[in-house]
Amino acid sequence: MQKKAIILFSGGLDSTTCLAIAKSEGYACYALSFDYGQKHRSELQAAKEIALDMEVKEHKVVTLQLGTLTGSSLTDQDSIIPDYTKQDGIPTTYVPARNTVFLSIALGWAEVIGAFDIFIGANDVDYSGYPDCRPEYLTAFEKMANLATKAALDGAKYTLHAPLIRLTKREIIERGSQLGVDYSKTLSCYRADATGRACGTCDSCTYRKKGFKEAGVLDPTRYF
């Protein structure tokens, strides 16, 4: 019987590569996206189209209102998402507790459908410095998952997979390209417009452009 896996799936470069890796390892993939109050919905449309193209078993979009807590330029309507600047510290695009909330919902769905593997496209090499993308955080969440669920008490073991955690963007793009990922359909931009065009200058766009350049792969992103 094919093993099931939950994939945290934004429709971006990293999560799409993560989905491709899970599929290549033989998992029946269940994609989980979130409408959490982000300023644009273009990424959700990209996620829906990619999930369909990649023939996931099921794709759920869960609605949350993390924006009501404010605290992030990605969700606070009164805050401006900045251009990329090299800086120390955590940028304003950090959304408090986002991965903890997302992974918790993924864990709940996993328990319901009998999946014991959860994939997340977290990366701590070419990234913005978010604390919930670090390996020690992911290890702690996996430990919690195996303490907090009925399935674990009954003998199941949950595994949290972060296959991109130590890869550069170049390496991620190379891996995805080997697996046939169509990056033209992915959307990573924090400030994308309604048609899915990217700004080219935010943190996410900057790391993405750097990855394509270093990989020697033509950047298929549409910019405005």
CB of 111 closer than 8 Å to CB of 154: no
pLDDT of residue 66: 83
Q: 52 vs 67, 86, 103, 189, CA distance in Å?
A: 28, 37, 22, 21
Average pLDDT for 50-74: 92
Q: Which of 202, 197, 35, 192 is nearest to 128 (CA)?
A: 202
Whether 121 shows a pLDDT value over 80: the answer reads: yes
pLDDT in tens, 161-185: 999 999 999 999 999 999 999 999 9
- CA separation for the pair 4, 1 (Å, rounded): 9
For CA atoms 83, 43, 218, 15, give the dihedral sign: positive
Return the SS3 of 55: coil
- CA separation for the pair 117, 151 (Å, rounded): 13
Task: Dig out the tokens for 110 from the structure.
Answer: 């996993």
Q: pTM of the full predicted structure?
A: 0.96
pLDDT of residue 71: 84
pLDDT in tens, 1-53: 899 999 999 999 999 999 999 999 999 999 999 999 898 889 999 999 999 99
Whether 69 shows a pLDDT value over 90: the answer reads: no
Query: Dihedral, CA atoms, 18, 20, 22, 24, nearest 10 degrees?
Result: -150
Predicted confidence band of residue 140 (pLDDT cuts 50, 70, 90): very high
CB of 50 closer than 8 Å to CB of 185: yes
Task: Dig out the tokens for 152 from the structure.
Answer: 């674990």
Predicted confidence band of residue 90 (pLDDT cuts 50, 70, 90): confident
Return the SS3 of 68: helix
Give bridge partners of residue 28 from the DSSP assignment.
4
Predicted confidence band of residue 107 (pLDDT cuts 50, 70, 90): very high
Q: Which comes out higher in pLDDT, residue 129 or 142? A: 142
Average pLDDT for 125-152: 92
Predicted confidence band of residue 105 (pLDDT cuts 50, 70, 90): very high
pLDDT of residue 88: 73
Average pLDDT for 115-125: 95
- Render 117-186 in DSSP notation, one character per residue: EEE----SSSS---GGGSHHHHHHHHHHHHHH-HHHHTT---EEE-TTTT--HHHHHHHHHHTT--GGG-
